[in-house]
């Protein structure tokens, strides 16, 4: 039986896996990237991922080095202000509004927002430019066998690949993680999220807004103009039954509901895409490495979509892993290198996951007294300038 050899095998062709393939390819490694599902790169497709990703400042060098940012920048909407709105009073109306402005800590925006389907389109195009990257959509990981010198992976098409470093970027139910027997700790909230795009009469002015009432945040994230008018991406987190009810509403009733939930801060919202539903969990793997294997992104950690943390944690994984691999270019994937990767990333991942868990539970509060306490805490933290700046830097992952 013939065996294909490579430096890096990436299991998973989502946004994180494609970014990793471009980054390792641009760094000169031989890369094979596989995913059982071909990437959906058209917004109108029934299975298109309608969520968006906000790349925060520390992620920009990763995208630039991978040769991705020049492709993505023309489609990105800048995020200059993160606005927190507490609407926890008797009526769904803004009672406390606090703006966290990137200008307080930097001369650049907090980040840049892009639709996930478009990210896949541009990333696949970038991989086609790299002769040392072999992207195999429609092929997944079937079996994994590791030993000190290599990981030997059998793919779903029967091909066997020998690789110095296997990267599991294959999602929250990662076949690679399961093959290595790495357990996870999972927190469930009984929540789901609706993701969709809207247009609105008032310009967003590059402000990303989280409206907190109960059930979870209602988040509006700027998008480039759509059909000549202002547009935003929305993630609306609620209990599972409530999301099911909202997803089934006729469009006029849904538009009325989402406008009310947004407190009308951008005027009447008009649905501009289909509605997709995503489960919300908080999950962290016990280890981020194994023999000849590294876990990144949702294979290693899943967090609720609060503060644009998810993919930026993933790109922090990639940044550390790529730096270590380049420092061990002759043999990436040694036990010492992968143990160092785990030690550098896992404590920060656990800390950030716990912080996001706390924020999510706070956003779900329904009792009026507890909502009042949440509003008071927001007011207090914002009012102290050094604390406010520290929170903004921590949210970006800056030291």
pLDDT of 399 over the 60 cut: no
148 and 180 part of one domain: yes
Q: Compute the distance between CA of residue 36 and CA of residue 48 in angstroms, rounded to an integer.
A: 15
171 and 302 part of one domain: yes
Q: What is the DSSP string of 140-174?
A: -EEEEEEETTEEEEEETTS-EEEEEEEEE-S-TT-
Length of the chain: 399
320 and 373 part of one domain: no
122 and 143 part of one domain: yes
Give me the CATH number covering residue 324.
3.50.50.60
Q: Compute the distance between CA of residue 318 and CA of residue 15 in angstroms, rounded to an integer.
A: 12
Q: Is residue 129 part of a domain?
A: yes
The pLDDT confidence band at residue 384, using thresholds 50, 70 and 90, is low
The residue-averaged pLDDT of 200-208 equals: 93
User: Cα–Cα distances in Å, from 120 out to 1, 107, 315?
Assistant: 33, 29, 15
Q: Which of 276, 206, 297, 280 is nearest to 234 (CA)?
A: 276
177 and 210 part of one domain: no
The rounded percent of the chain whose pLDDT value lies above 70 is: 91
Instruction: Give the helix ranges, DSSP H, for the chain.
Output: 15-26, 60-65, 69-72, 116-128, 175-180, 240-248, 251-261, 310-327, 335-363, 368-383, 385-396
In whole numbers, what is the pLDDT of the chain averaged over residues? 89
The residue-averaged pLDDT of 105-115 equals: 85
Query: Residue 132: is it exposed, middle or buried by C-beta count within 10 angstroms (0-12/13-18/19+)?
Result: middle
Which residue has tokens 């989502």?
Answer: 14
Sequence-distant (≥ 6) Cβ neighbours of residue 61 within 8 angstroms: 319
Residue 209: φ, ψ to 5°: -120, 130
Handedness of CA 370, 308, 319, 299 (dihedral sign): positive
Contact, 134 vs 31, CB < 8 A?
yes
Q: Compute the distance between CA of residue 310 and CA of residue 304 in angstroms, rounded to an integer.
A: 8
Report the range of poorest mean pLDDT among 57-61, 312-316, 370-374. Answer: 370-374
Contact, 112 vs 79, CB < 8 A?
yes
Q: Compute the distance between CA of residue 236 and CA of residue 272 in angstroms, rounded to an integer.
A: 15
Task: Give the per-residue pLDDT at 258.
Answer: 96
**pLDDT for 131-180, tens place per residue?**
999 999 999 999 999 999 999 999 999 999 999 999 999 999 999 999 99
**pLDDT for 265-324, tens place per residue?**
999 999 999 899 989 999 999 999 999 999 999 999 999 888 767 778 899 999 999 999
pTM for the complete prediction?
0.90
pLDDT of 111 over the 90 cut: no
Q: Compute the distance between CA of residue 220 and CA of residue 230 in angstroms, rounded to an integer.
A: 12
In the chain, how long is the greatest CA-to-CA distance? 69
Handedness of CA 166, 168, 173, 177 (dihedral sign): positive
Q: Is residue 378 part of a domain?
A: yes
157 and 218 part of one domain: no
354 and 372 part of one domain: no
Q: Is residue 110 part of a domain?
A: yes
The residue-averaged pLDDT of 239-263 equals: 96
User: Cα–Cα distances in Å, from 278 out to 195, 237, 281?
Assistant: 8, 9, 10
293 and 318 part of one domain: yes
Q: Which of 55, 20, 53 is nearest to 130 (CA)?
A: 20
35 and 123 part of one domain: yes
- pLDDT: which is higher, 26 or 104: 26
User: Cα–Cα distances in Å, from 368 out to 88, 110, 189, 190, 365?
Assistant: 7, 32, 20, 20, 8
**pLDDT for 313-331, tens place per residue?**
899 999 999 999 999 999 9
The pLDDT confidence band at residue 370, using thresholds 50, 70 and 90, is low
Domain count, the chain: 2
**pLDDT for 341-365, tens place per residue?**
999 999 999 998 998 888 888 877 7
Tell me the three-class secondary structure of 59-83, residue by residue.
Answer: HHHHHHHCCCHHHHHHHCEEECEEE
Q: Which domain holds residue 242?
A: 72-114+189-280+364-396
91 and 206 part of one domain: yes
Give me the CATH number covering residue 83.
3.30.9.10
342 CB neighbour count, 10 Å cutoff: 19
C-alpha R_g of the chain: 21
The residue-averaged pLDDT of 84-95 equals: 79
Task: Give the per-residue pLDDT at 212.
Answer: 85
374 and 343 part of one domain: no
125 and 273 part of one domain: no
Structure tokens at 297: 């992104």
């Amino acid at each position: 039986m013939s065996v294909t050899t490579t430096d890096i095998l990436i299991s998973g062709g989502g946004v994180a896996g494609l970014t990793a393939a471009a980054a390792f390819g641009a760094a000169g490694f031989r890369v094979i990237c596989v995913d059982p599902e071909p990437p959906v790169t058209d917004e109108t497709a029934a299975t298109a991922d309608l969520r968006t990703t906000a790349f925060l400042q520390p992620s920009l060098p990763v995208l630039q080095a991978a040769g991705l940012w020049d492709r993505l920048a023309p489609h990105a909407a800048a995020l200059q202000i993160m606005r927190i709105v507490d609407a926890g009073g008797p009526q769904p109306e803004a009672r406390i509004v606090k703006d966290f402005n990137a200008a307080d800590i930097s001369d650049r925006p907090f980040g840049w927002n892009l639709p996930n389907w478009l990210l896949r389109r541009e990333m696949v195009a970038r991989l086609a430019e790299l002769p040392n990257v072999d992207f195999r959509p429609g092929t997944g990981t079937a079996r994994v066998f590791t030993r000190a010198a290599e990981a030997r992976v059998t793919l779903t098409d029967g091909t066997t690949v020998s690789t110095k470093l296997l990267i599991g970027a294959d999602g929250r139910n990662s076949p690679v993680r399961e093959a290595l027997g790495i357990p996870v700790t999972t927190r469930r909230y009984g929540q789901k999220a609706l993701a969709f795009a809207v247009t609105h009469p008032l310009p967003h002015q590059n402000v990303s807004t989280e409206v907190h009432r109960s059930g979870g945040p209602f988040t509006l994230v700027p998008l480039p103009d759509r059909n000549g008018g202002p547009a935003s991406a929305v993630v609306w987190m609620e209990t599972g039954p409530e999301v099911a009810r909202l997803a089934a509403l006729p469009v006029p009733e849904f538009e009325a509901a989402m406008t009310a939930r947004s407190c009308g801060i951008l005027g009447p919202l008009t649905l501009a895409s289909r509605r997709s539903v995503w489960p919300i969990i908080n999950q962290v793997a016990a280890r981020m490495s194994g023999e000849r294997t590294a876990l990144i992104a949702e294979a290693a950690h899943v967090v609720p979509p609060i503060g644009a943390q998810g993919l930026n944690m993933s790109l922090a994984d990639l940044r550390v892993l790529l730096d270590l691999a380049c420092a061990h270019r002759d043999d990436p994937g040694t036990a010492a290198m992968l143990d160092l990767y785990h030690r550098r990333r896992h404590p920060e991942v656990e800390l950030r996951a716990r912080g996001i868990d706390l924020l999510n539970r706070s956003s779900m509060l329904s009792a009026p007294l507890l909502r009042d306490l949440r509003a008071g805490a927001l007011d207090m933290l914002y009012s102290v300038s050094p604390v406010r700046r520290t929170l903004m830097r921590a949210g970006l992952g800056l030291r």
